[in-house]
Structure 1
Amino acid sequence: NIEHIDNEVSVDLKPLKISDIKPDMYGLNLVGKAIDMGSIKTFQRKDGNTGRVRNVTVGDETGKIRVTLWDLIADNPGFAAGDSVEILNAYSRENTFTNQTELQTGSGGSITKSERKVEYSETITQIGDIGINSAYSVKGFVSGLDEIRVFERQDGTKNQVANIYISDDTGRIKVALWGEHADIVNEIDIGSEISIVDAFAKSGMNEEVELSAGSRTGIRILRK
């Protein structure tokens, strides 16, 4: 005789730490804190329908990572900045522009609000330690200011940019402020203290390292 016993099976989905995530990993589970909710962007699919996408930044005590949300989940994620979230069955890929690893939930994955407590603090890089082709968060004092310059894109639309310089105990670096970020030059002066989160470092004129603050960058005035 075969005896059937109905037991509840518990599966232990041990979450990864963000620092352990590398490109091209699958079946990833993690718990983190939503740091930045990003903004919804629309795009045209090949079939003519309009899609929506949102990039949310999630962090834990080991680092942070960008998570891409699509369509209905992008519209209504079910959580807000500051909430803890649980991500199940995600996969990772490398962003070829920023050279950073990002997460995709895809059709088989999920991201939901969690009651688990997660600690996160932004890692600030000293200016003297900045290299090219990566994103950095820095804090320093404004040591140079240029005026806002308005220019026309190839598609005929207009944009603006302003260059500032910030300094800390280890060096000085040029920061290009694009779009709405350029308006901050009207609120700061030489000696103002600011923090810049997720600016992309590249090689500029004379092969000097400079930062570019675009749509993924957050800027905060700490002291005017």
Structure 2
Amino acid sequence: MGAIEDVYEDLEADVSFEEFEEAVEAKVEQMGGLADEETAAMLIAHELRDEEVNGIADVAPGMDEVKFLAKVTAVGDVRTFERDGDDAEDGRVVNVDVADETGSLRLAFWDEKADAAENELEVGQVLRVKGRPKEGYNGIEVNVDEVEVDEDAEIDVQIRDSYRVEDLSLGLSDVNTKGRILDTESIRTFDRDDGSEGKVANLTLGDPTGRIRVTMWDGQADTVEALAAGTSVEVVDGYVRERDGSLELHVGERGAIEELDEEIQYEPESTAIDALEMGDTVDIAGVVRSADPKRTFDRDDGSEGQVRNVRVQDETGDIRVALWGDKADYDIGPGDRVAFADVEVQDGWQDDLEASAGWRSSVTVLDGAGDAPGGDEGDGANEQATGLDAFADGDGADAVEAADGDDASAAVADSGGSGGSATASLQGEAVEFTGTVVQAGSPVILDDGEETMSVETDADVHLGQEVTVRGTVSDGTLDADDVF
């Protein structure tokens, strides 16, 4: 056995001996006699080993060339584009999504390869791919040099007709998924580089496995006006992108959002209020204990912002939540059970913690008692462009104090304090009081939207329940004889 055969025998690469021998001869000629056949064979073997990767997870931008196996999960349509030069022919490209057990990426087939890919490739086929990786718009993309179908290879990747939220990953396209609308935002407009006007709108979609932000473009953005929180829908032909480290599901002209007759369930997993810490971005849920009026203020750029504070209580404690921009228009009040997703825990008024619900947050009335209107379109556009910093120089309630110059206690104190207690003038009297349970412990605390009542009772009540109590007030607490 010769030197070339010895090196090839130890090589674990998908290349025939004839191809390997030709590459060795070309290398000897290229080096002008500086390397013999054995040295050239070892150099070629080293290059081939560098090209092979164990899986898609090992493919990285900057590699000269890679080889890998992957299963086709989606085949796009051929798109044409104009090349520079008056005599240049239009170019053609088709994108093919592939995956293996370690991850997924997109293949780009150009010109003649694009025509072949559109006509010959099918979802479910396993491909042997050779190409050049780069950083694409949706993640890693490989420009294909060579590809062939491997009928014998198997890759354990499930091809789905419909995805759950937890199944979504960066780079997926042709995605169909069902969910419940948790929150909607108003339509915003923007100017494209070519001078035309674009439109975009967002909603938050949840299913039993999680939630995701959905971005709708141009004609699809108009869909948001006909959709309301609590509606079950199916997103058709969406594609997954990443923004600020989080996945988003995008819907363009090829896609659609369709209402469903079936009801998709979503139950948030919230963090206990007494476990919140400064700087956390969390989900919380509870009963609204009190709600302040909406306040407006002037931003540094001259536009008008708005904010509304509500105080929310769960079994462990309570916290003020600042609703910024469109969310200040939401019709929620005492007694509503509400989930706040992706709120940022900040330092609020009088060193108390505050949860800030900005443009990335979603607000969902869980019992259907509240309404979430779209709000002002211009204000929403500014939120999308600049995030929480757009509303004022400071964060949370302190920003409102700086914006309108009111006394701090008037500007940001929650209405639970301003409403006061109903017991001060009722000592020793037999009274009847109707309100919403905002604390189910001992004592029970009821809130009727204007004032609160502490109640001593053995009755079994729960947060958000509306009850009427009768009894005598003593030492600031109503000793209930009747609860109904």
Question: TM-score of the superposition, structure 1-length normalised?
Answer: 0.69
1:156 maps to amino acid: G
1:34 Cα shift? Answer: 4.5
Q: Which residue of 2 aligns with 1:49?
A: 196
1:54 Cα shift? Answer: 1.1
1:165 Cα shift? Answer: 2.9
Match of 2:161 among 14, 21, 27: 14
Question: Percent identity between the aligned chains?
Answer: 28
Correspondence 1:193 to 2:332: no
Aligned residues: 206
**1:170 counterpart SS class:** coil
Match of 2:268 among 123, 145, 149: 123
With over 3 angstroms needed to count, the CA separation of the structure-2 counterparts of 1:117 and 1:202, relative to structure 1, is same
1:63 maps to amino acid: G
1:26 Cα shift? Answer: 2.1
> Contact conserved, 1:141 with 1:168, CA < 8 A, in 2?
no
* In structure 1, C-alpha distance between the alignment counterparts of 2:302 and 2:225, rounded to whole Å: 37
1:135 Cα shift? Answer: 5.0
Larger RCO, structures 1/2 (Cα 8 Å, 6+ apart): 1
1:42 Cα shift? Answer: 0.8
**2:219 counterpart SS class:** helix
Q: Which residue of 2 aligns with 1:167?
A: 313
With over 3 angstroms needed to count, the CA separation of the structure-2 counterparts of 1:127 and 1:28, relative to structure 1, is farther
With over 3 angstroms needed to count, the CA separation of the structure-2 counterparts of 1:175 and 1:106, relative to structure 1, is same
| Offset from partner CA, 1:164-202 (integer Å, 9 cap, x none) | 4322221222211324654679x85xxx32324335223
> Contact conserved, 2:216 with 2:250, CA < 8 A, in 1?
yes
Match of 1:62 among 191, 201, 209: 209
Q: Which residue of 2 aligns with 1:88?
A: 237
| Offset from partner CA, 1:55-76 (integer Å, 9 cap, x none) | 1322222122111111112124
Return 5+ residue gaps in structure 1 as ranges. Answer: 1-8
With over 3 angstroms needed to count, the CA separation of the structure-2 counterparts of 1:203 and 1:17, relative to structure 1, is same
> Contact conserved, 1:58 with 1:65, CA < 8 A, in 2?
yes
Q: Which has the higher strand share?
A: 1
* In structure 2, C-alpha distance between the alignment counterparts of 1:181 and 1:115, rounded to whole Å: 26
1:43 Cα shift? Answer: 1.3
* In structure 2, C-alpha distance between the alignment counterparts of 1:85 and 1:110, rounded to whole Å: 10
Greater Cα radius of gyration, structure 1 or 2: 2
* In structure 1, C-alpha distance between the alignment counterparts of 2:193 and 2:209, rounded to whole Å: 38
> Contact conserved, 2:286 with 2:314, CA < 8 A, in 1?
yes
Correspondence 1:110 to 2:110: no
> Contact conserved, 2:180 with 2:264, CA < 8 A, in 1?
no
Q: Which residue of 2 aligns with 1:4?
A: none
* In structure 2, C-alpha distance between the alignment counterparts of 1:52 and 1:123, rounded to whole Å: 30
> Contact conserved, 1:34 with 1:59, CA < 8 A, in 2?
yes
> Contact conserved, 1:147 with 1:163, CA < 8 A, in 2?
yes
> Contact conserved, 1:136 with 1:201, CA < 8 A, in 2?
no
With over 3 angstroms needed to count, the CA separation of the structure-2 counterparts of 1:130 and 1:20, relative to structure 1, is farther
2:234 maps to amino acid: V
Return 5+ residue gaps in structure 2 as ranges. Answer: 1-121, 125-158, 371-435, 437-448, 450-484
Q: Which residue of 2 aligns with 1:177?
A: 323
1:102 maps to amino acid: E
With over 3 angstroms needed to count, the CA separation of the structure-2 counterparts of 1:90 and 1:130, relative to structure 1, is farther
| Offset from partner CA, 1:112-171 (integer Å, 9 cap, x none) | 42768452223151323546453524112426x666543211121222334343222212
Q: Which residue of 2 aligns with 1:202?
A: 345
1:214 Cα shift? Answer: 3.8
Residues 14-33 of structure 1 aligned to structure 2 (within 5 Å):
14-22=161-169, 24-27=170-173, 29-33=175-179
With over 3 angstroms needed to count, the CA separation of the structure-2 counterparts of 1:40 and 1:141, relative to structure 1, is closer
Question: TM-score of the superposition, structure 2-length normalised?
Answer: 0.36
For the aligned residue pairs, the C-alpha RMSD in angstroms reads: 3.8
* In structure 1, C-alpha distance between the alignment counterparts of 2:217 and 2:256, rounded to whole Å: 11
Q: Which has the higher helix share?
A: 2
**2:221 counterpart SS class:** helix
